[in-house]
A = this chain, B = another copy of it.
Amino acid sequence: MFSKACEYGIKACIFIAINSYEGKRVSPKEIAEEINSPQAFTAKILQALVRHKVINSIKGAYGGFEVSKYEIKNIKLSQIVKAIDGDNIYNGCGLGLEKCDENHPCPVHDKFKVVRDELKLMLENTSLEELALNIKSGASFLKT
């Protein structure tokens, strides 16, 4: 469904959010340990998220990754997915036709569109805040 990079990206954002609530910046090393991902690869994904302005980075001593405490509830899963995997999953054809087009649909278009749109809606309606709170409360987990 999502690429490995995207899975790591989502989990990383959640961990960053949790720490940002407490004013703490985190490093790729800490993140990778917490979400069980390869560190250097995770660092690359974080760079991409910074470029797309999903998270911030502060360079130099006492730096790290963070996200504005007041923005956490406004950041949606869809932004993270779009930053890393692009928007093919939202708009692309389920059978790989050049583009999904009502006027030139693939055989599964009608049925696929329903599912794809629901996925899109789910990602757009899910905030980093609720995912982070979910982890903090111990109701869900980032690894194993």
- Which residues of chain A have a CB within 8 Å of any CB of chain B? 1-2, 4, 7, 10-11, 14, 77, 89, 92, 94-98, 104-109, 111-112, 114-116, 118-119, 122, 126, 131-132, 134-135, 139-144
Contacts and interface: CB of A to CB of B under 8 A. Distances in A.
A111 B122 contact: yes
A116 B119 CA distance: 9
B126 A111 contact: yes
Given A106-B142, A115-B122, 5 more contacts: A1-B94, A2-B96, A10-B107, A107-B134, A111-B122
Given A115-B115, A115-B119, A118-B118, A107 B142 contact: yes
A105 B140 contact: yes
A97 B141 contact: yes
B112 A122 contact: yes
Contacts of A94: 1-2, 7
B97 A143 contact: yes
